[in-house]
Structure 1
Amino acid sequence: MPAPLAGRRVLDLGALCAQRPHALAASMAAKLCAAYGAEVVRPLPADGEPFASLPPLLPDGASALHRFLNAGKRPGPATGWFDAAIGDGAALAAHAAEVPVKARLSVFGPDEPDPPMSELGLAALSGLLGIVGEAPPAPPSRLAGHQVAYSAGLATCTALLAALRAGGEEVVDVSLLDVTAWLNWKVAAGVMVIGSAPVRGNAKATWFTVKARDGYVALVYQDKDWPPLRDLIGDPRLLEEPFITGPGRGANRAALLEIIGPWFAARTRAEITAAAQARRVPIGPVKYPVELLEDAQYRARGFLAPDGTPSLPVGWDGQRLVREVADAAV
């Protein structure tokens, strides 16, 4: 099956973007284009690849972020014909004025000034930061990785594909804040339905990670799962108030953890998972990164290469594209 962007040339201006969120989002969008078969060219600034020294770092000191985002791309100048270009407004104006299809990233949109912004700032402005972490007065927690920028990259690639499919000349605009707000759609839904936005309330939450003998397990369950979970643990105190109802367990979270904690701590993650699955209780192990290389589901999906590089489950017409790409030599 031919790749849908085979024969197309895409200009990745992520390395020339002025701000980190724009750079990450543009680079992710271009990576997706490469997975769809495009030839992706990535011009670099005079001081070289900006991601080359960014964490997470591999044992040899190289950047895993750089290896992931730039695999399948070719460093080179912004010369010749390109079908599409991806970057912020300034990079597109300077290097892609003649490119027919442009994907332009900004914080608020093309008609607003682009202020200094980080992914943490986007999470705060969108309200996403307000629901991650323990309840106040504890500080909010930062999302791991680059979920905000990568989501903006996915949105950018989707818009770019639509513009290329339509043909002609077009500038598609992607607001980083709009994408982050969409990720946090429950805030808007909460305001519409109950008149207020959700806030961090983990002090009363009954979903948490619990220490096992060899690590941690994630305890995520609904009210219907409580009776089999309670019976699995087998402590008679769980049959009494205040642990009979969900609100009661939430309001007495510390006491609940004191009761159930020893049961989990005495067993391995595998033992806990098997016992929970036998009762259809949704408990799963928290795995260490090295364990993911041998994870049965990841192996079946081909998600991780032997060296740990994640692939992308890119599909076209219901089929997964298989395209061998080499790491960019930058």
Structure 2
Amino acid sequence: MPPPLLEGIRVIDLGRYIAAPFVGQLLADLGADVVRVERTTAEPDRLRGPYLDGRSLYFVALNHSKRSVAFDVFSAEGRAVLDELIDHADILIENFSPAVAANLGLTRERLRARNPRLIALGITAYGPDGPDAERVGFDGLAQARTGAMASNGVQGDPYVNHLPYVDFSTALFGAFGLMAALYERERTGEGQFIDASLFETAGAMIAAYGMIAEAALTPAARAHQGNTLAFALGDRVRSRDGDFILFNIIGNMFTRLCVMVERPEWVDDPRFVDDPARFAHRDELFAHVASWAAARTTAEVLRAAQEHQLPFERVGSVRDLATDAHAAARGMFPRVAQPGIGAVPVARLGLTMSGHPHEAPRPAPTIGEHTSEVLAQWLGWDAVRVAGLPQSRGAR
């Protein structure tokens, strides 16, 4: 079996909550030595739910397969230890505000002087500069400011998406940047600095979907659509069983839909000639599709859709996904043997590489579990010196 893809890459993970820790998680899944540097008292993300027997499943999900080093990073002595770790690291990940990062000495000039090969990723809410650089922000606020939240729900009642996709997408952008920077370092021998923000990630997705161009160049505001597919035919219907079923019909799928719902005359109806026309007349089309689905069981609807190669899917729950047969066949949720909890299903890396089988996940670390081990391996410290590490004096 080949060695892990990122074996030998040393990563300092100063991230908390979701976006930055998930970057570290992705790198750990690829075999990097990811070391979470934290205080000796529990950081807030160790205390977040959901819980099992009083222990955070959230923390395990985002921090398994990492190691932990604990000391008071905010003390002068702790900053000196962090500097030594930085001297021996390939990658640094942090999501402090620009002011806090500067107080810790994590400026570009200082990091470059200490370790010219270091690749540093800073994740913030709004970016490291500009008028809103120091504003506090989370995933939902990025959705709110960029129009993503206003694009959900119905008119007058915008919905925030509680799956924090902005956090996770920011992490993917960050990891993508780190991989590109590692590749360039092979050519130049030099590291670089990457900044990613929740605001810019959400804005990039809005723009990539054409919505910024639409807002800037067309006069009409897009209406709130609920579950309706934009500019085509799609919505949720209900089966005879009471299940919700989502469908999306675009392009020449419409001909097959007409056959399935027993309305072949729609194919030549000028009102339904293309996707924009079908969108304009969606109420009439939807009413018939809804009536057709309501007369059938969920299994019958999905079987007919599969026979006609049409995208219909039952609206399931997360509990359904946890026991989904296809997810199990794909190995999507390997279990990690987490001390004090038991076998915890976690996310597998969302891609499969032919040359590198998935690594089995290791437990999330306890606070400072690997302090002696990491400081000996990275810095050559002995037990006496480790014992003198500064302890945290409370939250900051």
Please, what TM-score do these two structures have when normalized by structure 2? 0.69
CA distance in 1, matches of 2:92, 2:286: 52
For the 8 Å contact 1:109–1:173, the answer to whether it is kept is: yes
Q: 1:327 aligns with which of 354, 359, 363?
A: 363
- 1:162 is matched with 180
> Which 5+ residue runs of structure 2 have no aligned equivalent?
71-81, 336-343, 367-396
The SS at the match of 1:103 is strand
Q: C-alpha separation between the residues in 1 aligned to 2:32 and 2:91? A: 10
2:56 counterpart (52, 63, 71): 63
Residue 11 of structure 1: how far off its partner (Å): 1.0
User: Which residue of 80, 91, 97 corresponds with 1:84?
Assistant: 91
Match of 1:67, SS state, is helix
Residue in structure 1 matched with residue 20 of structure 2 by the alignment: 26
- 8 Å CA contact 1:86–1:102 kept in 2: the answer is yes
1:90-141 Cα deviation digits (max 9, x unpaired) = 247517554532111223333223212221221232232232222x13x112
Partners of 1:187 and 1:197 within 8 A in 2: no
Query: CA 1:233 to 1:64, structure 2 compared with 1: closer, same or farther past 3 Å?
Result: farther
2:35 is paired with a residue whose SS is strand
Structure 1 pair 250–28 and aligned structure 2 pair: CA distance change class (3 A): same
Of 321, 328, 332, which residue of structure 2 is paired with 1:303? 332
Q: 2:238 aligns with which of 211, 215, 233?
A: 211
Q: CA deviation at 1:270?
A: 2.4
Which structure 2 residues correspond to residues 266-277 of structure 1 after superposition, within 5 A? 266-277=295-306
1:253 deviates by 5.6
After superposition, the Cα gap between the structure-2 partners of 1:296 and 1:193, relative to the gap in structure 1 and judged at 3 Å, is farther
Match of 2:225 in 1: 201
> Against the structure 1 CA distance between its residues 10 and 247, is the aligned structure 2 distance closer, same or farther, given a 3 Å change threshold?
closer
C-alpha distance in structure 2 between counterparts of 1:293 and 1:84, whole Å: 34
Distance 1:30 1:290 in 2: 27
Partner of 2:253: 225
The equivalent residue for 1:19 is none
Judged with a 3 Å threshold, the aligned counterparts in structure 2 of structure 1 residues 93 and 3 are, in CA distance, closer, same or farther, namely farther
Q: How does 1:113-128 map to 2 (within 5 A)?
A: 113-128=133-148
Q: 1:223 to 1:325 in 2, by over 3 A?
A: closer
Q: Deviations over 1:235-263 (max 9, x none)?
A: 79989999856667656666655544343
| Residue identity in the other structure for 2:175 | C
Counterpart of 2:122 in 1: which secondary structure? strand
Matches within 5 A, 1:42-191: 42-45=36-39, 47-55=41-49, 57-58=50-51, 60-77=53-70, 78=82, 80=85, 81-87=88-94, 88=96, 89=98, 90-91=100-101, 94=104, 97=111, 98=114, 100-112=118-130, 113-134=133-154, 136-137=155-156, 139-165=157-183, 166=185, 167-184=189-206, 185=208, 186-191=210-215
Aligned residues: 319
Q: CA RMSD in A?
A: 3.4
| Residues in 1 aligned to 2:322 and 2:363: alpha-carbon distance in whole angstroms | 19
Shift of 1:144: 3.1
Cα gap change, 1:201 to 1:325, in 2 (>3 Å):
closer
1:227–1:313 Cα change, 3 Å:
closer
How far apart are residue 172 of structure 1 and its match? Answer: 1.7
State the alpha-carbon separation in 1 of the partners of residues 300 and 287 from structure 2.
20
Name whichever of 245-254 and 258-267 sits farther off.
Answer: 245-254
Query: Which ranges of structure 1 fall in alignment gaps of 5 or more residues?
Result: 16-22
Please give the alpha-carbon distance, in whole angstroms, between the structure 2 residues aligned to 1:259 and 1:247. Answer: 18
Give the letter for the 2:203 counterpart: A
Letter matched to residue 119 of structure 1: D
State the secondary structure of the residue aligned to 2:201.
Answer: helix
CA contact (8 A) 2:352 2:358 kept: no
